[in-house]
Structure 1
Amino acid sequence: MRLNCPLCGPRDRREFYYYGSEDYLNRPAEGAAPQAWDDYLHLRDNPAGVTKDLWYHELGCASWLRVTRNTLTHEILATELVADLKREATA
């Protein structure tokens, strides 16, 4: 599988570290119940179809990417810099 890094161009998947669903960015608030932290750390969905995941370009530019992909076909639909997404959300 190849991922298209917005900064480095097309790269082999082995240059990246998979972090899971983009929900990983939504940490429980300070003082949240222990059950909320347990769910956050240990429960993961495993959907079939289109997902949005976090990937870290470990052996490249050290950027965080949101990769939209289809888990059934292995098609990569989009790659976006997380930093750009955060800028857009605050603008």
Structure 2
Amino acid sequence: MQLIECPWCGSREETEYHYGGQAHVAYPSDPAALTDEQWAHYVFFRSNPKGAFAERWYHAAGCRRWFNAVRDTATYRFQAVYRPSDPKPTEQKPTEETTLS
């Protein structure tokens, strides 16, 4: 069982959380002006990198708050967690400890 650090509650088991997708996706300033193709791109197209990735998480079984996390998608290790009002941490390069052998 992996532990995930909630910015408000502290470390809890991963079963208490729900994944919320990519973080820092700006809502369109004028959604009514978007074409169907542009709207579909906003709703469905997200990055899928190998390595550090900023994500949204919801602490469903705890404080019921959203927070952001930077997680390595290759190792599943969380590199940072932060409140949505906080800026995204600078990207961390993988270390030997976080890379797969």
Q: TM-score, normalised by structure 2?
A: 0.74
Equivalent residue pairs, number:
84
1:21 aligns with 2:22: yes
More helix by share: 1
Residues 67, 79 of structure 1: 8 Å contact kept: yes
Q: Percent identity?
A: 31
Flag the structure with larger Rg. 2
Q: Residue deviations 1:37-90, cap 9 Å, x none?
A: 1111111221100001001111110111111111112211111111x327xxxx
What stretches of structure 2 of length at least 5 have no aligned partner?
88-101
Provide the residue aligned with 1:60 in structure 2.
62
User: Which amino acid counterpart does residue 13 of structure 1 have in structure 2?
Assistant: E
What root-mean-square deviation, in Å, do the aligned CA atoms of Structure 1 and Structure 2 show?
1.6
Task: Identify unmatched segments of 5+ residues in structure 1.
Answer: 87-91
- Secondary structure, aligned partner of 2:55: strand
Give the structure-1-normalised TM-score: 0.81
Q: Is the 8 A contact 1:63 1:81 kept in 2?
A: no
